[in-house]
Amino acid sequence: MDETIDKIRLRVFSKLQYCDPYKFLIELRLFEYIVANSSTPKAIRTLRTNGLKPMREMRDVAIFCVGMSERLGCKVCFSALEEQDYDFVSRWEKDGQRKYCPIQLKEIVPKELNETITVQKVIDKLERYTDSADVTFVLKLNRICQFDPSGIVIPDNLSIGELWVFGGVSEDQSEFALWGNFLDSAQNVIVKKFLYPSTSFN
């Protein structure tokens, strides 16, 4: 993740309270099991109401942080901080240094909600962000499929820090994959597969 943060943002980020994504998701999964076996409406079970949107986005960024933790080899925590060009801030420690990164979360919704939206269309719309060079953009692919990153075209004038895509690759949402960083090379993107956590980060 991008680490170029100005001093003002750095002071703000250092004072935030950060959430352990492993602990958050393990506790959330217990709730999901209970709801899944109840008569709760699907919109609530899938966190698709306006009131549950913050929880859905926290779940998404937590899963991303787990994937990034597995990729970096150190635990990546998160904090909600909605600003003009980002929604969350991530924090991790590597080689004795504490690092931060603002995150803007986007979603490719299920086909039953929007058949025409694609990863490429969402990426093309990122051109409107003209002052987000230190922000990592994360696209949640909310569809069970085999995503092929080789066909993705990155606009030449994209002014963002990094670009990652993640999504579930199993029907039961137990396995996920993380693709990126697309700004390094869209044609040679590395994929990292990881499991929904059942234990803390080791």
- Give the model's pLDDT for residue 120: 94
Strands 77-80 and 190-195: unpaired
- Give the model's pLDDT for residue 143: 84
Burial status of residue 11 (CB atoms within 10 A of its CB: 0-12, 13-18, 19 or more): exposed
- Give the model's pLDDT for residue 75: 97
Q: Decide if 161 contacts 6 (C-beta within 8 A).
A: no
Whether this model's pTM surpasses 0.75 = yes
In total, the chain counts a number of residues equal to 202
What does each C-alpha distance from 105 to 86, 91, 138 come to in angstroms?
A: 7, 16, 5
- Give the model's pLDDT for residue 9: 85
> pLDDT (tens digit, 0 to 9) for every residue of the chain, 202 residues total?
655 667 888 899 999 999 999 999 999 888 777 666 767 776 666 666 777 788 889 999 999 999 999 999 999 999 998 777 899 999 999 889 999 999 999 999 888 889 899 999 999 999 999 889 999 999 999 987 678 888 899 998 899 999 999 999 998 889 999 999 999 865 678 899 999 999 988 7
- Give the model's pLDDT for residue 144: 76
Q: Which amino acid is at 173?
A: Q
* Ramachandran angles phi, psi of 67, nearest 5°: -60, -40
- Give the model's pLDDT for residue 124: 95
Burial 128-139, CB ≥16 within 10 A → b, else e: ebeebebbbbbb
